[in-house]
Chain A
Amino acid sequence: MTNYIPTIGVEVHVELKTKTKIFSNSINGYGEMANSLTNVVDLGYPGTLPTLNEEVLNLAIKAATVLNCKIRRQMHFDRKNYFYPDNPKNYQITQFDTPIGYDGYVEIEVDGKTKKIEIEEMHIEEDTCKSTHRGTKTLLDFNRAGVPLIEIVTKPCMESSKEAKLYLEKLKELLFYCDISDCKMEEGSMRADANVSIRKSESDPFGTKCEIKNIGSISNVGLSIEKEIIRQQALLERGETFKEQTRRYDDKLGDTVLMRVKETGNDYRYFPEPDIPYLYVTDERIERVKEDIPMLPNERRKKYMDLGVSELNANKLVQNRSLSDYFNTLLEEKINFKIASNLLLGDIAAYLNKHEKNIENTTLTKERFIDLINNVDDGTLTSKNLKDILDTVLDNNLSIKEIIKESGIKNITDDGAIREIIIKIINDNPESVKDYKDGKDRAIKFLMGQVMKETKGSANPKIANEILTSELNK
């Protein structure tokens, strides 16, 4: 079987996180009673006209900025005309001639190499209403009609399902981070279409393109592209040709299925929207929006690892925007960042999950957290201690010192007392001492475990470690 080169382009629709809709002041919300979030503009009542939500422009500029797009300074909107029950005016207001962003890129890491996924353009448009099919009827809920969207279109520049998935993950991370969108694919606030074609060699023209519409998750994007490549290969191998078509991914079937064949190009009868005058983007607005862009995930990851945080923890932190933001407030401090990341992602994250809280809603001020980290760092608090006092630390304003005092933690910090126990343990475990002398690192861990067991976790681990090492080396 010949090896084919797939070519993949991805179009993503993202709902913007605004309070109100793009062309009307009704609420942009999800999960409310059907047809309760609309007004006469959203429903396309006769005589109604669009107004333009400033926040949509700001978020679109923000998105264009983080996607490294050039930003257009003078724009108009266009009407895309097509009849469909989910399209209240039977035209959609979009940007066809003058998308707000163009010539951008997103960087992904594939097999250790950085690849630029080129963004052809990104434009602003309105969402359609939601339709549900029930037997012989289709039911329409117009709550979603007029929700602001940006559509981000890549060039056909990806060559595998893996690249497409990595691109989507990166895109989602960026947009979510910048508060541009919730990016919840399961709620439809992020939706992806993939264009797939295959050809035998780089020098060949692109093969016939099939579009897979409205894929419900990133993993399904991967699966559907793979299945589609296999399907197209099989056809070509059999010497068959096929027409440009629109398909969808059937989850149960685990394959793509035909929706319709594009006999001729879609005839959307685009023309410039006369109801919305030219829209201008000023330098001041771009600057204001840029100030609002947080430190981006890549930069965070790099910073964290430079400060001694493990790659695993750095990634975990970045995935949790609120913990990562909290962590960022510490970056200038002289603390043990490894411990800080362990604490945040371990016991503290567990507490937050259990109590369904954000870190901002706890009493853990920056100062108290630093205090806590230092107490762990110098061995005053053992991990067992920490578990005992964490609830108090997080829902109480007492200083760490007071909490330690009140909780009655009496760690054995007396050198003499610890040394006595250690000598006993060394004497009881000659095998381990031998292992240690033979250079087996495991042994010291075992012996330390015995010390903590003997002291019921109350020995200052730092001191104990020092004494144990010195006794063993005698």
Chain B
Amino acid sequence: MKYLDKSIKEINELLKNKTIKPIDLVEEAFEKIEKNKDLNAYITLNKEQALKDAKELENIEVDNILFGLPIAVKDNIVTKDLLTTCASHILDNFTPIYDATVVEKLKEHHMIIIGKTNMDEFAMGSSSRTSYFGAPKNPWNKEKIAGGSSGGSATTIAAHDVLFALGSDTGGSIRQPASYCGIVGMKPTYGRVSRYGLVAFASSLDQIGPMTRNVYENAILLNAIVASDEKDLTSARKEKEDFTRLIGEQIRGMKIAVPNYFMSDIVDINIREKIEEIIKLLEQKGAVVDYIDVKYLENAVTLYQIIAMGEASSNLARFDGIRYGHAKENPESITDLYYGTRQEGFGQEVKRRIMVGSYLLSGENAKTYYNKALSIRDDMKKALEKVFEKYDLIIGPTTTTTAYNLTDSMDDPRKSFMDDVLVIPVNMAGLPGLNIPVGFSKDKMPIGMQIIGNAFEEAKMYKLASFIEKELNLDLNPFGGEKND
């Protein structure tokens, strides 16, 4: 009964000719999740409702390729009647009375929400270890981190529990865990996917995206969740398009840029070597690859720290124990309610970031830090856009190292930012970025490559990614199952 290891086209055929029913897929997913329980990929399982949904689908015509397929949703995306905690104590009793727009999209496509995945608290972190519910583990080596903040989504995909997951990416939170776990993860262009119902961390950076085993399935899921949404003023008003349309095309003549900074000594030598191999391959296949300098890339983390923490301090102010969520018991005063609720409800990383963010916006600091960051951000976006006047895509490593040990120190508050040094620039400029597995380190941990496109050129990124995927034909099942294609 290993239907979930088949391609989605095959599964779709089986559903259409009634060889299997959606409930077979759902039951198989829960069996796998149960077996991989130690990975701690999920905060909440939606078992009862998922089985019910699957049953109901039996009366409905198979109307699209995602029909009846189980999907895992990151726990900062609100789901009606299903606990949504953001991996925080402050929301561990929060059952939303509304769906995120992306969740509505999944339901329209008759996908089945299997559960809510583990993550860094409020998506703040790079290893998912700031979760109130403990960290998820990397299926390739359970001693290692899955990355973050969408660590649970990356884990469950890498473990082949399900085919589809949603993550969110504020400063690399889809691409970085995708890289550590050896899966495909896409952060679409800012505005591609509605943010309505994504619990905001940094509003100008956040974007929901698909996390999958392979490139084709990734593009299919993106097809399903992209929509301009009148509930989100920042959602882009764009025509519908098929993101799979360029998959399978040759890459001859493609012009690709590699920023020198991405290949500098901040990156582990083994990872650089792996990327260089890929560059050689692309050149052999007729692509033109140039090493270039891109201004401001090395400043991206500083800008990110100011903007993300500043916005977060404001976005997380609403968690005050008054309207919903955790509240301090028997508060003596309104001050006690605020201070106590937030002391009890937030973890260390979140507290640190909110405090620093509040400081950066206070008094004169708004000018000296925040406004300056917005100015440099504008120039950085322009510098990146300039690259795309000449080049189709930018590539480089996704991370500076492979996944490190779960037991590594968490004492340095800067570490979580530095892990994301290569993935943050994309969010600053609102561009799409994708991780694709390109090989393994000596200790058998996945290495990922990042592909960055110009705004709204995700289809072109999928084209290059699927070409590489096919050329490499890596075995990406950590438990040595059947190969996917």
Residue positions of A touching B, CB distance < 8 A: 40, 43-52, 79, 81, 83, 85, 88-91, 138, 140, 265, 267, 269-272, 274-277
Contacts and interface: CB of A to CB of B under 8 A. Distances in A.
19 contacts: A44-B323, A45-B98, A46-B96, A46-B319, A46-B324, A47-B96, A48-B196, A51-B231, A51-B233, A81-B313, A81-B317, A85-B320, A85-B322, A85-B334, A90-B317, A90-B320, A271-B311, A271-B314, A271-B366
A277 B233 contact: yes
Given A47-B78, A51-B233, A272-B374, A140 B366 contact: no
Contacts of B362: 267, 269
Given A272-B374, A275-B234, A46 B204 contact: no
A51 B231 CA distance: 6
A140 to B, nearest CB: 7
B interface majority secondary structure: loop
Given A47-B198, A271-B314, 19 more contacts: A40-B97, A45-B96, A47-B96, A48-B196, A49-B195, A52-B233, A79-B314, A88-B318, A89-B317, A138-B334, A267-B363, A269-B313, A269-B361, A270-B361, A270-B366, A271-B311, A271-B366, A274-B204, A275-B200
Given A269-B314, A271-B310, A140 B361 contact: no
Contacts, number: 100
B155 interface: no
B351 to A, nearest CB: 15
Contacts of A275: 200, 203, 233-234
B100 interface: yes
Nearest to B195: A49
B94 interface: yes
A46 B76 CA distance: 9
Nearest to B232: A49
Contacts of A138: 334
A397 B198 CA distance: 62
A272 B307 CA distance: 11
Contact of B320 (A47, A81, A83, A272): A83
Contact of B323 (A50, A88, A265, A270): A88
Interface residues of B, number: 45
A46 B318 contact: yes
Contact of B203 (A40, A81, A270, A274): A274
A270 B360 CA distance: 11
B378 interface: no
Contacts of B233: 49-52, 275-277
Nearest to A81: B314
A48 B229 CA distance: 13
Nearest to B361: A269
B347 interface: no
B450 interface: no
B86 A271 contact: no
A140 B322 contact: yes
A270 B334 CA distance: 23
Contacts of B98: 40, 45, 48
Nearest to A138: B334
A372 B322 CA distance: 63
Q: Which 3 residue pairs are nearest across A and B when measured between Cβ atoms?
A: A90-B317, A269-B361, A274-B204
Contacts of B370: 271
Contacts of B361: 81, 269-271
Contacts of B108: none
B91 interface: yes
A93 to B, nearest CB: 11
Interface of B: 76-78, 84, 86, 91, 94, 96-98, 100, 195-200, 202-204, 230-234, 310-311, 313-314, 317-320, 322-324, 334, 338, 358, 361-363, 366, 370, 374
A178 B474 CA distance: 70
Contacts of A52: 233
Nearest to A279: B233
Nearest to A39: B98
Contacts of A47: 76-78, 96, 100, 195-200
A271 B91 CA distance: 26
B363 A91 contact: no
Contacts of A271: 310-311, 314, 361, 366, 370
A271 to B, nearest CB: 6
A429 B40 CA distance: 113
A267 B361 CA distance: 9
Contacts of A272: 374
A46 B199 contact: yes
Contacts of A140: 322
B111 to A, nearest CB: 19
Contact of B324 (A45, A83, A276): A45
A46 to B, nearest CB: 4
A52 B234 CA distance: 12
B85 to A, nearest CB: 10
Contacts of A83: 317, 320, 338
Nearest to B200: A47
B78 A46 contact: yes
